[in-house]
């Protein structure tokens, strides 16, 4: 399968995903070629309660928006020479399961470069990747010889592994002798300057609450200027208040509210999320940390000091490394590589 055929296949995958989304949104129950996938998406919350239908559709939409033939061609074009001369490699991808199809970009990168994918799917997200593979098999049966799903990895040339800080030590020990991309736990932050519009602050709610805040691109910490009224943020994220009705999210909210109160910690509680004044970047579900700053240089220094913990920096003026506009953290483009590591260059070198 040459590069043009691979690009064509993934563009067709984008069309199939779009059709599946339309069927679900139209609540169409007629039998068709997508019925099994529709049923899977509608029932996936039974196996992983965090994977609601809305969140799966959000993830699929984000994927679909990148699977445009013109965009795929533009993304891969700078590597045409390497693609023509490179040899086929076996690439093991150890997938995370914190949000739906979080490892899709790795799947795409491995296969579009003509390599063989050895997939170790997460126990938290095993059905959705298999759905993607099945769609690819129907688009072009040659993918069956390029994809394998393994519990025990062997005969691999390179590794892409995503997991927690603890699991990354395990990955490094077992796979460190091979070329490896090792992704550890990260969070994203937002930097408020005080000039944000109500619309931007409302969009910040998407960065906080999409996928219940479980993604590394979700904002977990907000830096705000001294004397800034934090109610400006609280009043503009109220549209997300229904999130607390989700059982697992609501349990987290109740648990941490109780813990903070028992320890006499000062929090701001708006009924569905807990704002806590804290220097830490990482937070549990239903908690957002905030910190005041005196000047923007102070924030720049904090970011540089903690760069290995930060995935994205949401801000108005695009003045930091890995800057993202409000509301766009969970809409990465093809060139928005996790941890700023170019996956294509890794695979082709």
Per-residue pLDDT of 288-304, as tens digits, reads 999 999 999 999 999 99
Please answer whether residues 274 and 243 qualify as being in contact, where contact means their C-beta atoms are separated by less than 8 angstroms. no
Of the CA atoms within 13 Å of residue 182, those in its CB half-sphere come to 18
Residue 165 has what pLDDT? 67
Q: Given this model, what pLDDT does residue 174 score?
A: 78
Structure tokens at 132: 């993607």
pLDDT at 175: 83
Question: Which stretch of DSSP H or E encloses residue 66?
Answer: helix 53-66
Q: What average pLDDT does range 242-265 have in this prediction?
A: 98
What are the boundaries of each domain within the chain?
3-179, 187-324
pLDDT per residue over 175-231, tens digit each? 878 999 998 889 999 999 999 999 999 999 999 999 999 999 999 999 999 999 999
pLDDT tens readout for residues 142-155: 999 999 999 999 89
Fold annotation for 187-324: Aldehyde Dehydrogenase; Chain A, domain 2 (3.40.309)
CB 314 within 8 A of CB 326: yes
Round the average pLDDT of the chain to a whole number and report it: 95
Residue 19 main-chain phi, psi, to 5 deg: -65, -40
Q: Contact 324/312 with Cβ under 8 angstroms?
A: yes
How much is the pLDDT for 55?
A: 98
Q: Where are the strands (E) in the chain, listed by range?
A: 90-94, 116-120, 147-149, 158-162, 180-183, 187-191, 219-225, 267-269, 274-277, 287-293, 310-314, 323-324
Which pLDDT value is given to residue 327? 98
pTM exceeds 0.85 for this model: yes
Q: Which homologous superfamily is 3-179 in?
A: Aldehyde Dehydrogenase; Chain A, domain 1 (3.40.605.10)
Over residues 48-67, the pLDDT tens digits come to 999 999 999 999 999 999 99
Share of the chain above pLDDT 90, in %: 89
């Amino acid at each position: 399968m040459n590069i043009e055929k691979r690009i064509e296949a993934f563009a067709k995958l984008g069309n199939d995903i779009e059709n599946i989304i339309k069927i679900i949104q139209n609540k169409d129950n007629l039998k068709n070629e997508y019925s099994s996938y529709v049923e899977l998406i509608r029932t996936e919350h039974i196996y992983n309660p965090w994977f609601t239908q809305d969140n799966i559709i959000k993830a699929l939409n984000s994927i679909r928006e990148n699977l445009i033939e013109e965009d795929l061609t533009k993304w891969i074009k700078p590597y045409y020479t390497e693609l023509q001369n490179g040899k086929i490699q076996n690439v093991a991808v150890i997938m995370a399961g914190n949000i739906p199809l979080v490892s899709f970009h790795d799947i795409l990168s491995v296969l579009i470069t003509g390599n063989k994918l050895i997939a170790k799917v997460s126990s938290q997200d095993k059905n959705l990747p298999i759905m993607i593979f099945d769609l690819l098999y129907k688009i072009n049966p040659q993918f069956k010889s390029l994809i394998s799903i393994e519990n025990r990895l062997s005969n691999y040339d390179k590794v892409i592994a995503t997991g927690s800080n603890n699991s990354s030590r395990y990955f490094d020990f077992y796979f460190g002798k091979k070329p490896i991309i090792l992704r550890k736990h990260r969070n994203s932050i937002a930097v408020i300057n005080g000039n944000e519009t109500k619309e931007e602050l409302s969009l910040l709610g998407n960065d906080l609450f999409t996928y219940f805040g479980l993604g590394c691109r979700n904002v977990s910490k907000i830096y705000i200027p001294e004397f800034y009224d934090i109610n400006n943020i609280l009043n503009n994220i109220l549209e997300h208040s229904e999130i607390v009705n989700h059982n697992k999210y609501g349990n987290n909210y109740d648990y941490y509210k109780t813990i903070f109160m028992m320890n006499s910690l000062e929090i701001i509680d708006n009924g569905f999320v807990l704002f806590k004044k804290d220097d830490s970047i990482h937070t549990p579900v239903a908690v957002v940390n905030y910190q005041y700053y005196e000047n923007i240089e102070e924030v720049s220094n904090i970011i540089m000091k903690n760069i290995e913990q930060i995935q994205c920096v949401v801000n108005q003026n695009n003045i930091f490394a890995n800057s993202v506009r409000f509301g766009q953290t969970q809409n990465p483009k093809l060139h928005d590589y996790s941890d700023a590591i170019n996956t294509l260059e890794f695979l082709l070198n």
